[in-house]
Structures are given as structure tokens and as C-alpha cells.
Structure 1
Amino acid sequence: MRRRLRALFVSVVIAASGVLPAAAQSIDKQFQQWLVSDLWPEARARGIDQRVFKKSFAGIKPNLKLPDLVLPGQKEPTGSSGQHQAEFRAPSAYFDSVRGIVAGGRSRASQYAQALAAVEQRFGVPRGIVLAVWGRESGFGGAKIPHNAFEVLGTKAFLATRKAMFREEVLAALEMVQKRGVSPDSMRSSWAGALGQPQFMPSSYLKYAVDFDGDGRADIWNSVPDTLASIANYLRSHGWVPRRDWGFEVRLPAQLSCALEGPDQGRRVADWAAMGVQRISGKPFPQQEMSGEGFLMLPAGRNGPAFLVTPNFYRLKDYNESDLYALFIGHAGDRIMYGDVAFTAPWGKVEGFSRSEVAAMQRALERLGHDVGGSDGLVGFKTRRSIGLWQEKAGMVPTCYPDKGLVAKIR
């Protein structure tokens, strides 16, 4: 009876992954052959010792439950079904967890005050920003990091839609073991192969991970000082400008076009102020910001808060390319350090429509000559300002954001 139940359980698990037992065994065999005849020769050419290679991949089999794999006999990557049918979400939903990050960041600002002060002095990145990134990426080290990095990276280098990228990352992981003394058993990662508390890909670890506690190794899994310094080093190395803010919530004059948004339409902060852009708090922009470049950022178009951001905002986007991620980190960092001040302007409601409908609207705008940044169903700044330009040409009051009627009209 137990054997029958076990066999039934195994068959259910295999069916859930969409791979039959014989096919799974075939993939395992192909993976092992790929390791020996394909990956190992390149690893050897890069100076990886065979003992390191064998130890890193000992007992590793491809994890067929990971998303974005193209399995034999399939045309679509796993986990892709229904992606573009998902309901379009209001940007405000992204900030639901900000209070938890702020509370956790404040308690750790006191707990690790000495390390944070040293990190800020060395790298010039404000401690509030470093804490916000740490909290967002791994819950201040409390989030589970469940996967073996070589299992994830090896699987994706063998089967993923972006094989070339993951091939470089798995080779970088081997270099971590060979040259940086990291134990393969300690290399825990996310399902995407991101490592440790800062969630670095292996190539980023090699470039930016810092030994800040002086024990001779950069331990981004267990060492808080190493984690904090590594996050700050990443941002500083990407061009974080010390003594500049990330941005400010602002109020825009009614006549100012929302289509002026974007990192390619920067002006001096003093020029934006002369055009009537004001801080929502009523305070003047800091004097040290006035001669620097600023950029309009409207994550919900005219239907939500507006921001004037600095080049440091785009350094946060280097960590994660999402506008909302960068805004979350900047906002949480401010609240950690300066008080629990939420956005002043309200977020407008988003009527029910799907990402596939947004993608269809984007394709229509592309046919009209607009650069929307790709028809992916996501509303980035290029899509927002394209909507605004279309609305202006149609004689409408520009909002630079989709609504149900607009999605149906732009076809």
C-alpha cells in the first residue's frame, strides 16, 4: 500500500512539472553530457580547476520546476501561460509593503549604526537607501533563500530562454568558488540565481561584493557589514552621486505637459522650478540641487504623485530596472531616516483591463510612430508619454496613463 501511495505521489509531482518520467531521465542525461562536453571545456579555459567543477556540480540535476525553461517538445517557456492576460494593477499596489520595510529599517538603523556610518562615509550612499535595498531584497536577511545556486544557474544555462546570460553567470559562480573561496554548499540563491542578502548575480558578486568585517571574505549570506557595504559599493560603482538626493515629490502646473517625462528630457532643477514645478511640501529645492540635472517621473501619469528625480534615481534602477522599485527604495529610505511621511498626492483608480489589452494599445501606438519601449503590457515612461502625445494630438487633456476607454480607443 505504501509503495502504491509513493508511486502515486511521484506521478503527481512529475505531472505537475509537465515532464514524463522517461523525458525527465532523458533531460538529466543530456544535462550531464552538456556539463562534461560543453560547459567544462569553457570553464577549464577560464582557469577553473576540475576538482572545483566536480564539487560544484556534485549531485546536481536540472530543476524542471523553475520558470522560463524551454523543455524538449515545448515551444513556450514554462510559467509563461496567462502572463499577458493578467489584470493590470495600479502602481499604488507596489507600495503596500513599504511600512514593514520602514519599520524594519528604523530598528536596524540603530542596531547597526556604527557599520552604517562607516559604509556611508566610505561609499557616499545614504544609510536609509542601503537599508531600504536590504529590506526590499531579502527582508533584512530574514527571507528564505531556498535554492542551490549551481542547480538554478546550471538548469537555466542549459534550458532557459536566456541561455547565454545564465552561462556567463554559472561560469562566474565557478570563479567565486575558485578565486574567492566561496563554498558551493553555502551558495544559496533565489529561483533566478540571485545570491545572498543583497540578491547579487554571481557576476555582480565578483565586481561589487565587499569584505567589510575584516574576516578575509565577502560573505553576503551571513555578514551584515559585508551585505551593507556590498549594496553601497554596487550603487557607488554604478555612479551614485554623493550629497545629491534621489528625488522629490512635486506639484506640476496644469499647463506643463506630462509628456516631458523621461531620463532623456532632463533639465536643471532650477529650470524646472522656473517652469513652475514645486516641491509638494512647499519647501524650496535644496540649494545644492539647483544646478544639477533633474528628470520628471510620473509613474501613474497625471493620475498619481509626480516626482522630480535626480541621476541617483537611475542608479537605483541599475539595481532593479523597474521605475516603481527605484521609487519604493527612495521613498522607503526617506521614511526610515526622516519620518513616516507618505506620498501627498493620491493614486488614481485603475479600471479593469488586462496586460494583453495594454500590449495591443502599445502596438497601435507603435504603428502610429510612437516609441513605447516595447509592447509588453507594462506602462513604462515611454508608453506613458506616448499616450500623452496621442492625447494632445487628439485634442484631449493629456493624462499620460491608460484607462479602460483609452485602451479601447487606441487600436
Structure 2
Amino acid sequence: MQAKPPRQHAAPAKAKHAKAAAPHAYGERADVMRFADQHAQELGYEPAALRHLLAQAQRHPRVQQLIMPPPVGTAKDWAAYRARFVEPRRLAAGLAFWQQHEAALARAEERYGVPAEIVAGIIGVETFYGQIMGGFRVIDALATLSFDFPPGRKDRSEFFREELRQFLLLCQREGLDPLAVKGSYAGALGYGQFMPGSWNRHAVDFDASGRIDLIASPEDAIGSVANFLANHGWQRGLPTHFEIALPVDTAARATLLAPDIKPSFTAAQLAEQGARLAEAGQAHAGLLAVIELQNGDAAPSYVAGSENFFTLTRYNWSSYYAMAVIELGRTLAAWRAAGQKP
């Protein structure tokens, strides 16, 4: 993901203090051992065995760095963000993935109502079609964020402690070695980068192998991504968004942008505020959200997001992410229709 930061060296006069301030190994942490004792029985471990397992987890400073938000003042740039994903190498990989797994993508679309291009778009954005699934030991990432969540942003250690519990439950059920499984810096796993809790709640055995494997089975990943979206409200046949032109009046713009990605306005209410929806959007019976995509120093882009756009953001809480998925998938579908080969 990002380059490693330069190694920091303590001054000789401070070496003793630095050594004293260094964190204990997790096996020496009372809070980690309490976690082990609290959850051992429900997870199918003897308390001593779970203590021993968690004692082998390591605090990972790089994880602490990567979980932090970008620096204040970092400009958002939709055009640059899009270009990271809708580019020749990823498109070629996406065409090959779609060609190889065409039957599974079609079956997922039929069963769950989620278009193949959306599933292909998510897997492409998340992991470059399985080429980049993360190099952190998941137990290290989750232990770090559970017990050493960095200051400077909203504390999410409780969330990650639950994900650590879900990960241990997953490993017990699927026969995985908790010390060997690798994923993202946040503990996400497999082709679709499911957090352990999402794996446990939404993953499916789509290849009928008798077990769920989102790391080694692209078919399981395809079905699981589609099932995740269906479980979060995906509506069969509903477009993700419509073109829209915003009113010039700044107060009206502020009103329309205030709900952010949450669909809040009917087509008639958008028109009352002076927004101009594309013809297809004018016929939309549900609610819409006005999505702003900033373009650095250039003028922002706007779309009217439907309930399905909002569902995409349940996968990743970002309108930029959702649009990248849509644009990658749409481009792949267009290339396939034109007979483009990988």
C-alpha cells in the first residue's frame, strides 16, 4: 500500500527511557489475557490455549499508521481516484476474471439480483482480482487495533475487539491457522476483503465445496459479495445513480448536499430546489441523494444516488469508492460488449 516510514532512532541520553516506555508483549498484557479468558469457552478454546495464541500476536506500528485518516487539508480528487482503478492493467485483469468466472457471476446475478459488473467492480477495486489481498497477519492487525488503537481519531477499539472475536470464531469453524492467515491492515480478508464479522454473517459456499473460502475460492467470493449487497438492501433492476445538474443558488445547493450519501429527496423535491435531473431520474419513484465528487481545484462532479448507490457504500462508506466500483464495472461491461479481449 504505502512505503514504510523511515526508522526512528532514539538519542543515547533517552535510550533508557525509550526502553522503559516500550509496550509489553501481548502475553504480558492483562487486558489481552482478560479478553482470552472472557471469550475462550464460546470460541471453543481452553483459556490457557487462547492466552498462548494471543500472546503470539504482535503490535504492528504500520497498522497504527495506516488506520489514521489523511492529513487535514488533503484535497479530494475524483478524477485522480477514478484513474487509480479504471486503468488498462486492472481492466485487463477484470476481463480475464469475468471470462474465467462468467458462469458464477451470472448465477450470482440471477440469485441475488446484483449485476455481474457490480460484483466484478468490487473485487477489482478491493484486490485487483485477487492479486493484492494484503500482507499483514490478521491476528496482528486486529490485536493492534483492539488493544493499541492509535490516538488522534475516533476510538474504534471496541469494533476491532469484536472483529478479533469473529476472526477466532471463523478460524475455529473453517479450520484456519490464526497465526498464518493474512489480510489487510484492518484485518479484511480474501478477494472481496470481508471483515471477519462480515464473512461470518454474509459469506456463502457458492462453489458447493462444503466450506466457505473467500481467500482461495473466487466463486465463494463472487456469491458472498452479491449476498452481502442483497442483505444490505440491493434492489434488483434499480440503477445506482442518475445524472444531475445542481442549482446555482448556494442555499439550495447546501440543502441538497446536507444529507450526504443518504437518499433523502424525491425527484419532485429536487426539481423544487432547482436541480435538473436526467429524464431517467425524473421517473424514479424512490428517494435520491445528491452526491458531490470533488475534483481538486476543478469544479466538482455531481450525481443523484439511488438506494442502490447507498447500498454500495455499506461495503465502504465512501461515495468515491462506490463510483469507482460503478465506473470500473461499467467499463468492463462495455469492453466485453465490444468484444475486447484480456
TM interval, short-chain normalised: 0.7 to 0.9
Equivalent runs, 1:33-52 vs 2, <5 Å: 33-34=29-30, 37-50=33-46
Quote how far apart the aligned CAs of 1:164 are: 1.5
Structure 1 counterpart of 2:117, which letter? G
Quote how far apart the aligned CAs of 1:313 are: 0.7
Q: Which is greater in Rg?
A: 1
Q: Which residue of structure 2 aligns with residue 267 of structure 1? A: 265
Query: Residues 142 and 79 from structure 1, CA distance in 2 versus in 1: closer, same or farther, beyond 3 angstroms?
Result: closer
Separation in structure 1 between the aligned mates of residue 165 and residue 138 of structure 2, nearest angstrom: 12
Separation in structure 1 between the aligned mates of residue 169 and residue 263 of structure 2, nearest angstrom: 41
Tell me, what secondary structure is at the counterpart of 2:39?
A: helix
Quote how far apart the aligned CAs of 1:334 are: 1.9
Match of 2:233 among 229, 232, 239: 239
Query: Residues 137 and 31 from structure 1, CA distance in 2 versus in 1: closer, same or farther, beyond 3 angstroms?
Result: same
- Cα deviation, 1:223-255, whole Å, max 9, x if unaligned, reads 110111111111111111111011123334656
Structure 2 counterpart of 1:217, which letter? R
Match of 1:98 among 71, 75, 85: 85
- Cα deviation, 1:337-382, whole Å, max 9, x if unaligned, reads 2359xxxxxxxxxxxxxxxxxxxxxxxxxxxxxxxxxxxxxxxxxx
Structure 1 counterpart of 2:210, which letter? G
Separation in structure 2 between the aligned mates of residue 285 and residue 222 of structure 1, nearest angstrom: 40
Query: Residues 55 and 241 from structure 1, CA distance in 2 versus in 1: closer, same or farther, beyond 3 angstroms?
Result: farther
Q: Which residue of structure 2 aligns with residue 277 of structure 1? A: 276
**1:251 and 2:251 aligned:** no
Tell me, what secondary structure is at the counterpart of 1:67?
A: helix
Equivalent runs, 1:25-104 vs 2, <5 Å: 27-28=24-25, 31-34=27-30, 37-50=33-46, 53=50, 56-57=53-54, 59-67=56-64, 83-84=71-72, 87-100=74-87, 101-104=90-93
Structure 2 counterpart of 1:91, which letter? W
Structure 2 counterpart of 1:63, which letter? H
Query: Residues 151 and 268 from structure 1, CA distance in 2 versus in 1: closer, same or farther, beyond 3 angstroms?
Result: same
Quote how far apart the aligned CAs of 1:58 are: 6.7
Q: Which runs of 5+ in 2 are unaligned?
A: 1-5, 151-155, 337-342
Query: Residues 254 and 151 from structure 1, CA distance in 2 versus in 1: closer, same or farther, beyond 3 angstroms?
Result: closer
Separation in structure 2 between the aligned mates of residue 333 and residue 231 of structure 1, nearest angstrom: 14
Quote how far apart the aligned CAs of 1:144 are: 4.8
Query: Residues 179 and 79 from structure 1, CA distance in 2 versus in 1: closer, same or farther, beyond 3 angstroms?
Result: closer
Structure 2 counterpart of 1:137, which letter? E
Tell me, what secondary structure is at the counterpart of 1:307?
A: strand
Q: Which residue of structure 2 aligns with residue 362 of structure 1? A: none
Q: Which residue of structure 1 aligns with residue 141 of structure 2? A: 152
Separation in structure 2 between the aligned mates of residue 82 and residue 240 of structure 1, nearest angstrom: 30
Q: Which residue of structure 2 aligns with residue 308 of structure 1? A: 304
Match of 1:198 among 192, 201, 226: 192
Separation in structure 1 between the aligned mates of residue 196 and residue 55 of structure 2, nearest angstrom: 19
Equivalent runs, 1:167-186 vs 2, <5 Å: 167-186=161-180
Match of 1:332 among 328, 331, 334: 328
The two structures, once aligned, show a CA RMSD in angstroms of 3.3
Structure 1 counterpart of 2:265, which letter? R
Separation in structure 2 between the aligned mates of residue 130 and residue 264 of structure 1, nearest angstrom: 22
Query: Residues 113 and 196 from structure 1, CA distance in 2 versus in 1: closer, same or farther, beyond 3 angstroms?
Result: same
Q: Is contact 1:105–1:128 with CA below 8 Å preserved after alignment?
A: no
Q: Is contact 1:313–1:330 with CA below 8 Å preserved after alignment?
A: no
Query: Normalised by the size of structure 2, how large is the TM-score?
Result: 0.78
Q: Which residue of structure 2 aligns with residue 141 of structure 1? A: 130
Q: Is contact 2:287–2:307 with CA below 8 Å preserved after alignment?
A: yes
Identical positions, percent: 27
Quote how far apart the aligned CAs of 1:270 are: 6.3
Match of 2:9 among 7, 11, 15: 15
**1:129 and 2:128 aligned:** no
Structure 2 counterpart of 1:112, which letter? H
Query: Normalised by the size of structure 1, how large is the TM-score?
Result: 0.66
